[in-house]
Structure 1
């Protein structure tokens, strides 16, 4: 119940110091209980933590405005990722990393096929998954003829301000203010709620929704700091992004050894 169905109850459980102490002593919940958590909460983001949320960095205020040349330029490059499968159309977000490659979350494409990207002008292009990492939750798509320069990566620390760009709800692109509260090593599960994994993540103040998955966290200069992949179970204004250090090895592997993946044969993300 620390992940739902009542946000108020979830928030109280997540913030209970006593329960956090017990949680550190208890074994991690088995995969089938993690699946039950998902059903109760009705969430479409993967759980970031295998158990209760640890004590996280204190919240910082988001910037009042993110209307900068850098943010506006980056927003022109962020795409909507759409795929068929898992009972319908699955949508997420993605951003270019150069040479026709687009990075998104693995949970956006797992169990689906017929992948496309939609650019900000509304035009669409076919895409192929060429790298798939269900533990980090990273996928890389190759889009033939997509000659858009990759967004530049940049460093971040507590207090770095910027924005999250994506397509919440699979609708129009939206740019929302964000600030980095801090960096943590998060022990959670892979996108199928099976294996335990540890990811380096940013804790953010930003309001994100399903559909934002795979979108970039950028600074005011338009540099990519990380990739959004989840939101807090207890605080609707808190989100999580994989850091650049976490996703860069997968991007490099994809560019060096691209291999088409038929992700329609994979299970849908839990």
Structure 2
């Protein structure tokens, strides 16, 4: 039976450390002519960097309750020495955070299109990019009647940008792609078709007309994200789902969103 020498042990340890420290080989990407590189895959690869996750924080002024009051009930105060001054309910601040999506439509100016309800009542807006960068954003304008808002990313230029399409030639039945952050799952991709055009829906905020209906899955957090055609061109801004049924979502046509954005940036209102 061969014996291990000190030299052979050192050699083995050196080889083991070398293999451990070497970076793992990244999987090779499919060739450009691979059948796996479908139009949907190409569109997502092109547009995903321009899709952002939006975190909207709203500060709520209210009453903060002492731990003893939470347990024993409002107004409780221990009646023994040492607790005469135990604090009860007193002014406090709470944060309410909501999540949504958006898409960069002007990389030079750092402009983002999203829904007005995504940033409604916000005191602080943060934009998170696919590459991990985070930026503070200001609301340049919002129009609840059209559910469109424009954000400006602070301190960021030369950002990835989506191509704006023409929603006038959308065809029922054509393939569409939705990208967003449903339930906080960043850059989730769903596909479907244009189910119908010119839809009207009513909710607590009012009546919205001339919407694109799609069966591409749109869930909470998708609001404000892009609806793309098969070429990766922006044709709509996802805005609502019908909770009574599956496969019924709605998007604002990009032609309408573009007009609202121009008015907000030029005049401050529609």
- The alignment's TM-score, normalised by the length of structure 1, stands at 0.66
What are the equivalent positions in structure 2 for 1:190-201 lying under 5 Å apart? 193-194=204-205, 196-201=206-211
SS in 2 for 1:130: strand
Structure 1 runs not aligned, ≥5 long: 1-64, 260-270
1:96 is aligned to 2:99: no
Backbone CA RMSD of aligned residues: 2.0
Taking the TM superposition and a 5 Å limit, the aligned residue runs for 1:148-227 are 148-154=159-165, 155=167, 156-189=170-203, 193-194=204-205, 196-227=206-237
Residue from 247, 254, 257 that aligns with 1:247: 257
Does the aligned pair in 2 maintain the 1:181–1:205 contact within 8 Å? yes
Partner of 1:130: 140
Partner of 2:76: none
The secondary structure found in structure 1 opposite 2:164 is coil
Structure having greater relative contact order (Cα 8 Å, sep ≥ 6)? 1
Q: Is the 8 A contact 1:102 1:141 kept in 2?
A: yes
Secondary structure at the residue paired with 2:257?
helix
Partner of 1:238: 248
- For 2:41, the equivalent position in structure 1 comes to 68
Larger Rg over CA atoms: 2
Matched positions, count:
191
Alignment TM-score, normalising by the size of structure 2: 0.66
Q: CA contact under 8 A between 2:43 and 2:230: conserved in structure 1? A: yes
1:77 aligns with 2:85: no
